[in-house]
């Protein structure tokens, strides 16, 4: 994470976001290699200087140890290797970034024991509105936040913004807890 954090610390608008003493900064868990091949799309395929050069997550420090993290943010550096059109990121890549950031929000809360779930959570639906083209190269801020939690149903919203705070895409999704065999509960 040190290299990724140093990369974002060299960019003024990112430095400003990361300077808040009340946030917790963590590596983007899905960019960490796992022998099981879990997250290989982010840990290997898209972890190159020309695709996603760097990525970190951060969130507000909760008031107490078991408190739910309501919003998780990811800074992600996009290169030309994610393009669909010249200098424009492919919409499918943007969808993956949104889905992954939502999943990381659920993951950090599962580790904290602050959301009800059994086993893993999976995306039941993901609705995306592409507001503006996502130019490359560029650093984007992807933010995922809980809208509502009802039993094993986690309703999550997300935005993708540029360095000026302009919304490039927004989404809503339903994530559902599943048991070990992959069946929805």
In a domain, 183, yes or no: no
Residue 66 confidence (pLDDT): 66
Q: Summarize pLDDT for 40-73 with one digit per residue, the tens.
A: 999 999 999 999 999 999 999 987 766 789 999 9
Q: Cα–Cα distance between 100 and 102 in angstroms, integer?
A: 5
Strand 167-178, strand 153-161: pairing = antiparallel
Per-residue pLDDT band for 152 (boundaries 50, 70, 90) equals: confident
Q: Residue 141 is part of a domain; what is its CATH number?
A: 3.10.129.10
- Specify the pTM: 0.93
Asked if 21 and 27 count as a contact pair (C-beta separation under 8 A), the reply is: no
CA 115, 118, 119, 125 torsion: positive or negative?
negative
Q: Summarize pLDDT for 103-142 with one digit per residue, the tens.
A: 999 999 988 888 766 568 899 999 999 999 999 999 999 9
Structural domain including 104 reads 2-178
In a domain, 184, yes or no: no
Instruction: For 20, list phi and psi in degrees, rounded to 5.
Output: -65, 120
In a domain, 185, yes or no: no
Averaged confidence pLDDT in the chain: 92
**Largest CA-CA distance found in the chain, in angstroms, rounded:** 47
Per-residue pLDDT band for 27 (boundaries 50, 70, 90) equals: very high
């Amino acid at each position: 994470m040190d290299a990724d954090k140093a990369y974002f610390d060299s960019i003024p608008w990112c430095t400003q976001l990361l300077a808040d003493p009340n946030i917790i900064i963590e590596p983007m868990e899905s960019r960490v290699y796992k022998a099981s091949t879990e997250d290989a799309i982010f840990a290997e395929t898209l972890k190159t200087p020309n695709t996603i050069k760097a990525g970190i997550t951060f969130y507000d420090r909760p008031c107490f140890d078991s408190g739910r993290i309501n919003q998780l943010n990811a800074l992600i550096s996009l290169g030309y290797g994610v393009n669909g059109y010249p200098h424009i990121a492919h919409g499918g890549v943007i969808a993956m970034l949104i889905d992954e950031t939502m999943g990381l929000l659920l993951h950090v809360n599962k580790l904290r024991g602050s959301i009800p779930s059994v086993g893993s959570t999976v995306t039941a639906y993901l609705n995306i509105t592409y507001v503006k083209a996502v130019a490359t190269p560029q650093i984007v801020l992807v933010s995922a936040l809980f809208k509502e939690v009802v039993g094993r149903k986690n309703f999550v919203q997300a935005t993708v913004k540029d360095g000026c705070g302009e919304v490039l895409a927004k989404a809503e999704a339903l994530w559902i807890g599943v048991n070990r065999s992959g069946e929805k509960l």
